[in-house]
Chains A and B, each alone.
Chain A
Amino acid sequence: EAEVAQSPRYKITEKSQAVAFWCDPISGHATLYWYRQILGQGPELLVQFQDESVVDDSQLPKDRFSAERLKGVDSTLKIQPAELGDSAMYLCASARGEDRRGETQYFGPGTRLLVL
């Protein structure tokens, strides 16, 4: 069964350092999402791609966060500089992107970030 891949699984960094997370969606999935899940809360959407285009980044803190999906396949989420409040689980999800009506999103295992 195809899965969404993410790396690294865990990342510890110091405040003000740069960090990057990688996601490889299920093959053929046109839509890719990055979510942030703070401990004890539900995931919140950071950015959504349709192929290589950003369709929603309204909740992405653009002063320090950036995301790209250059060839419309895998994606990278970067934080620079990291702050203590960025400690969270970063989840990537993908969907076929063919039928927008109630499409199921499939999630990767996540990257747990700890900023010291």
Chain B
Amino acid sequence: AQSVAQPEDQVNVAEGNPLTVKCTYSVSGNPYLFWYVQYPNRGLQFLLKYITGDNLVKGSYGFEAEFNKSQTSFHLKKPSALVSDSALYFCAVSRNTGFQKLVFGTGTRLLVSP
């Protein structure tokens, strides 16, 4: 069975500083990995995904994520945080066979202070 762990309930960072939101995964075979962002009372918004190829994936709004197979991690990063980045971030994993089924982590709240 596939699973995702987001070890931090909340990450605090000052505006202009780099941010990292951690994610580790467990899945049989090669994983498909996703990051989504959720603003209050809204649905999930796709940020980026890893399917294959380059381990560094670039996505929307300046976010990027690094796939590390040996550490089974897919951490989300941004070089310079904005106050508007404050939101709830979800990592998700999907198996690479059959119908796609996303399994989400519990989420990490990112708080960027001015």
Contacts and interface: CB of A to CB of B under 8 A. Distances in A.
Interface of A: 4, 6, 31, 33, 40-45, 48, 50, 55-56, 91, 93, 95, 100-110, 112
A45 B94 CA distance: 12
The contact size tier of chain B is 20 to 34
B46 A106 contact: yes
Contact of A41 (B45, B99, B107): B107
A109 B32 contact: no
A45 B43 CA distance: 14
A4 to B, nearest CB: 7
Given A42-B90, A101-B51, A102-B49, A48 B101 contact: yes
B43 A110 contact: yes
Interface string B48-69: 0111000000000000000000
B23 to A, nearest CB: 11
18 contacts: A31-B99, A31-B100, A42-B4, A42-B92, A42-B105, A42-B107, A45-B103, A48-B99, A55-B99, A56-B99, A56-B101, A95-B100, A100-B99, A102-B96, A102-B100, A106-B46, A107-B43, A109-B42
Contacts of B4: 42
Interface in B72-114: 90, 92, 94, 96, 98-107
Interface of B: 4, 32, 34, 36, 41-46, 49-51, 90, 92, 94, 96, 98-107
A102 B102 contact: no
Contacts of A31: 99-100
Contact of A105 (B50, B98, B102, B107): B102
A70 B49 CA distance: 31
